[in-house]
Chain A
């Protein structure tokens, strides 16, 4: 089974479970609090995923290590390449 089919089947199973609880398809009559938690659940999971992604990006930005020597070296190489290419006729 391809990865897509795996993901789709898992999502389908979870979706059926959610619909069964939210719309009371089996006549189980869940308590009011459970219904109130259940119906926004897909949106909640998406928002939680978004928050997690944002937090991870922010954390990685904050802890990224600057390499001063490598940066200086790279700038020098860029200047060198620019002058070289300009001499050969390429216009920036």
Chain B
């Protein structure tokens, strides 16, 4: 069996991704078919944000990955040997 911390982190990821998927599915797929005066609409932002927020998240991801690569390459630079 995987160690305790591994299990906790793993199942945490599973739970988080499940919650995110359910919330996002409700937002994009279910809400348009619900009457506009239903109370559930108060728990969700306007529909534009269902595209804008993932867009920002993707941008941040690319930013982090790029910064990480830049940092690693900077740390591993070797000065040129002069004769």
Contacts and interface: CB of A to CB of B under 8 A. Distances in A.
B6 A62 contact: yes
B18 A55 contact: yes
Given A40-B47, A43-B54, A47-B54, A62 B7 contact: yes
A44 B7 contact: no
Contact of B2 (A36, A43, A44, A62): A62
Contacts, number: 81
Interface residues of A, number: 26
Contacts of A32: 32
A25 interface: no
Contacts of B55: 43
Nearest to B20: A51
Contacts of A36: 32, 47
Interface stretch (B8-16, B37-45, B63-71, B74-82): B8-16
A28 interface: no
A63 B8 CA distance: 11
A65 B2 CA distance: 5
Contacts of B47: 36, 40
19 contacts: A37-B29, A40-B28, A43-B55, A44-B28, A47-B20, A48-B21, A54-B13, A54-B17, A55-B13, A55-B21, A59-B11, A59-B13, A60-B10, A61-B6, A61-B9, A62-B11, A64-B2, A65-B1, A66-B2
